[in-house]
A and B are shown apart, each in its own frame.
Chain A
């Protein structure tokens, strides 16, 4: 579950975010904190490529932010429901962040790798997993990423990451991996 925390406490966020902070940007308030790790941030999600704090993690669209384990963009897997290609509420924001990152970093590009669980037929699952990757791509395009920045490949059920037959393993395999090139 990802919720954007937009807080005014500048002092804390300066400590947390260092030079990513742009203190002259507008800031909105929020009182929710799910992790307790970091308390504040600055709203950067207004199209300027700025910085925000999110749960225990921050959001930054600056180049390389995708490799920062403290950044939301370090999350690069989107999970799906059975036989569904709908990006769930839990992941829409994450996908949008990646779409924004691409729009701010025109030299960045991603490969979206679609996967399915083992239930159902193999070729149908390749098609299903592609439609998942396409759904992720579409959301990224809405956020300003360009077609040229996004390639799609579907592996269907051929590359599972979990091998159990329980629902948890299945759900881990129904995914789109966002792989920066």
Chain B
């Protein structure tokens, strides 16, 4: 078991300033690609705090489930220059790739961060970049390096350099304190966007990573807001009588699919961002909710109880299209998250009192269960399709966890205090 402990600085609230996010890779590295990330050499300065670039890269790659970075203590050599790389030695050690790099303090106080990705079998450098960083941006640069390495080797886009959003809840005798938090994808650098004594739910990133849509009960009813993470400006989008829930951005960022019950019972509506007008899409006496968009923007997948129990359905957003039922196995299948390529959905599969994350291939309708439960929910596909973030419970504590799409690798992201839930992973860093 590998354990990476990251100290978190909470910028906004003293009560969680000491919160620590601990990431444990709990199961399996089988099938992961071997890679060595050699500690970067610092020039003109000692390593600054937050500046352990190679450790950040190694941790990102390990979390993806696709890589198995060598423990630093087991490195057979620590080159920093291309000329010092002995390909034969690394080949014998079974390495396919190594990453080397340097950080150099510049006269203006910034840091030049350079890295090279070396393909040991090809016997040459295959990637090399240099970045200008400050002490505040060096972690972001490190995540970008992870993305470059990940993309080059796997052919899939990286997703380490973006952000995640989630809801935390602390309970006291006075009631609850809910927070909407945004952090780096490794949980570092959490910032609070909203604090409320009433529930906050269902954060969802806009496609450009600039805004979050979410539900807040702060005004005594469920209300959907959009919130620009940089300016802090937000807009009330929907506060009809009854439910205002489950916001989901269309792929072009121009619409939100939402759940409203203003006309009687919960149905899916499409809300136009430009004029805030909501148009009804589904019309059924049962519950329709938890809509998500397919990547082409032409159809949604949602949860409906029209068969008696919650199941997943797909429906075109045009005209009076008929919904197509997607799930048949088990009595509870809900809350889909669509992969970026639109080929799979992750969802909550309930059987008895056990709720687990499952994966459905849309083309074949074949499904398999990825997690153990007992109360796993809120699956969220990483934008690069490699893993699924979800909310779980451990010893009655709400935590975030991640599972690789092949189900082989599992991780826990545990905050030291409070509950954490409903992760959303931005496709782009704004």
Contacts and interface: CB of A to CB of B under 8 A. Distances in A.
B378 A127 contact: no
B423 interface: no
Interface stretch (A7-15, A88-96, A153-161): A153-161
Contacts of A121: 290, 303, 310, 334-335, 348, 377-378
Interface in B401-423: 421-422
Nearest to A163: B396
A122 B222 contact: no
Interface residues of B, number: 36
A119 B56 CA distance: 36
Interface in B268-314: 287, 289-290, 303, 305, 309-310
Given A118-B375, A130-B243, A153-B222, A123 B202 contact: yes
Contacts of B287: 124, 127-128, 131
A158 B201 contact: yes
A130 B332 contact: no
A120 B265 contact: no
B243 A154 contact: yes
B261 A130 contact: yes
A127 B259 contact: yes
Interface string B338-372: 00000000001010010100000000000000000
Contact of B246 (A118, A120, A123, A155): A123
Interface string B216-254: 010011100000000000000000001101100000000
Contacts of A163: 396
Interface in A76-101: 83
Nearest to A158: B199
Given A118-B375, A131-B287, A123 B199 contact: no
B217 A155 contact: yes
B176 interface: yes
A131 to B, nearest CB: 7
B375 A124 contact: no
B265 A131 contact: yes
Interface string A125-167: 0111011001000000000000000001111101100010100
A126 B243 CA distance: 8
B378 A122 contact: yes
Residue in B259, B289, B378 with the greatest tally of chain A CB atoms within 10 Å = B289
A121 B259 CA distance: 14
Contact of B290 (A83, A118, A123, A158): A123
B290 A124 contact: yes
Contacts of A134: 265
A156 B396 CA distance: 19
Nearest to B331: A83
B161 interface: no
Nearest to A126: B245
Contacts of B396: 163, 165
A135 to B, nearest CB: 11
A124 B353 contact: no
A126 B201 CA distance: 10
A152 B287 CA distance: 16
Residue in A83, A118, A120, A121 with the greatest tally of chain B CB atoms within 10 Å = A121
A123 B259 CA distance: 9
A124 B289 contact: yes
B266 interface: yes
B377 A122 contact: yes
A123 B266 CA distance: 11
Nearest to B308: A83
Contacts of A153: 220-222
A165 B421 CA distance: 17
Contact of B350 (A119, A130, A155, A165): A119
Contact of A119 (B201, B353, B421): B353
Contacts of A119: 350, 353, 355, 375
A144 B130 CA distance: 75
A152 B241 CA distance: 9
Contacts of A123: 201-202, 245-246, 259, 289-290, 303, 335
Contacts of B266: 127, 130-131
A92 to B, nearest CB: 21
Contacts of A122: 201-202, 335, 377-378, 421-422
19 contacts: A118-B375, A120-B348, A122-B201, A122-B202, A122-B335, A124-B303, A124-B334, A126-B243, A127-B245, A127-B259, A127-B261, A130-B261, A131-B265, A131-B266, A131-B287, A152-B242, A153-B222, A156-B201, A158-B217
Interface of A: 83, 118-124, 126-128, 130-131, 134, 152-156, 158-159, 163, 165
Q: Shortest 10 CB-CB distances between A and B: which pairs?
A: A158-B199, A121-B335, A127-B266, A127-B287, A121-B334, A123-B246, A127-B289, A123-B290, A123-B289, A123-B245
